């Protein structure tokens, strides 16, 4: 049995779908769903044997009452809001929850793969290398990044990274993110407007080194990100913290133009001021150093940005949820 926490969420549900394509249905999905929650859509047509609310799952972990057949926990569940202000919630939901799962897996010898984040790198002044020295220097810009960094450091300090995998996800986008509100990708948020009105709105730059729309991100398609997760499930002897991007930073303007091309529209980009509360915490450049993952044996190429956006646009055209 494989447990996927956050299994009704964006990346988690895509992992469940990919496991299903391999004929794997012995899956426990862990999430937190309420009546009317749009994430219910992400579990339709998925094969799994059990669903547990995240609170009930944690109780079972702490009481050591989990199914002994569990071979791996893929922990994607977390509060991914980068603008939240409830420090206690991030501490309990992101750090402590992950710590409890890790300790259980270490005790039982169960494979543990967890989601860290590129948000841990802060303003990027220390670079984007996933080595220990860099990870001890970096300073996140928000509570979300701090919560992810805190567990990375816990794993480093307790010398257990040789027994688990942490994945520093960069800017992931793709199907099944429609429920994330403002945390959706720009492609998801802009698709309908681009199709209907032929225009897209991006933030102006408030940094002298970057022109409007020239801020850069390492965008990775969710299908590629899931392939990396599967690689680590299939290679349980490979462990550590790894960046998960493409290794190629590209501008928001390039992303926008890729979306216009995907729907056969001429580019029309409008720029608006970035909200004041975001300016001090905004990452103007992210680019994953992918050396470590490649050296670990992952050789599969990543889709380039136009290919990924075109694939996603095809999904958005035929699905009501975006």
Spatial contact of 201 and 256, defined as CB atoms under 8 Å apart: no
Q: What one-character DSSP code corresponds to residue 196?
A: H
Candidate list 90, 97, 144, 221, residue with the active-site label: 144
Spatial contact of 247 and 297, defined as CB atoms under 8 Å apart: no
Candidate list 46, 54, 99, 180, residue with the active-site label: 180
Cα–Cα distances in angstroms (integers) from residue 31 to residues 13, 176, 224, 292, 301, in the given order: 10, 15, 23, 31, 31
β pairing state of 219-221 and 72-75: unpaired
β pairing state of 216-217 and 165-169: unpaired
Q: 10 Å Cβ neighbour count for 311?
A: 15
Among the listed residues 258, 124, 116, the one whose alpha carbon sits nearest the alpha carbon of residue 186: 258
| Helix, strand or coil, per DSSP, at residue 293 | helix
Identify whether 180 is a catalytic site residue. yes
Angstrom distance (rounded) from CA 72 to CA 102: 11
Identify whether 51 is a catalytic site residue. no
Please name the residues in contact with 157: beta carbons below 8 A apart, sequence gap of 6 or more.
none
Please name the residues in contact with 295: beta carbons below 8 A apart, sequence gap of 6 or more.
none
| Helix, strand or coil, per DSSP, at residue 173 | strand
Catalytic residues: 144, 180
């Amino acid at each position: 049995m494989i447990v996927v926490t956050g299994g009704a969420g964006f990346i988690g549900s895509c992992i469940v779908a990919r496991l299903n394509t391999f004929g794997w249905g012995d899956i426990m999905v862990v999430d937190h769903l309420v009546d009317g929650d749009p994430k219910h859509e992400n579990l339709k047509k998925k094969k799994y044997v059990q669903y547990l609310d995240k609170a009930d799952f944690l109780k079972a972990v702490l009481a050591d009452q989990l199914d002994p057949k569990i071979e791996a926990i893929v922990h994607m569940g977390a509060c991914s809001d980068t603008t939240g202000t409830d420090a206690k919630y991030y501490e309990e939901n992101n750090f402590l929850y992950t710590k409890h799962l890790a300790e259980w897996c270490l005790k039982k010898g169960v494979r543990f793969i967890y989601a860290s984040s590129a948000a841990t790198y802060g303003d990027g002044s220390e670079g984007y290398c996933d080595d220990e020295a860099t990870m001890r220097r970096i300073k996140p810009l928000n509570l979300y990044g701090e919560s992810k960094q805190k567990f990375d450091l816990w794993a480093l300090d307790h010398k257990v990274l040789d027994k688990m995998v942490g994945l520093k996800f960069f800017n992931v986008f793709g199907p099944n993110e429609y429920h994330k509100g403002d945390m959706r990708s720009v492609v998801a948020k802009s698709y309908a407007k681009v199709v209907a009105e032929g225009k897209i709105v991006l933030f102006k730059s408030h940094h002298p080194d970057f022109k409007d729309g020239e801020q850069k991100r390492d965008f990775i398609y969710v299908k590629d990100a899931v392939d990396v997760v599967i690689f680590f499930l299939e290679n349980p002897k490979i462990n550590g913290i790894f960046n998960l991007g493409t290794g190629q930073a590209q501008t928001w303007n390039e992303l926008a133009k890729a979306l216009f091309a995907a729907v056969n529209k001429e580019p029309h980009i409008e720029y608006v001021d970035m909200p004041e509360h975001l300016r001090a915490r905004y990452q103007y450049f992210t680019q994953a150093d992918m050396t470590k993952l490649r050296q670990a044996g992952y050789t599969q190429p990543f889709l380039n940005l136009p290919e990924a956006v075109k694939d996603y646009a095809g999904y958005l055209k035929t699905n009501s949820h975006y």
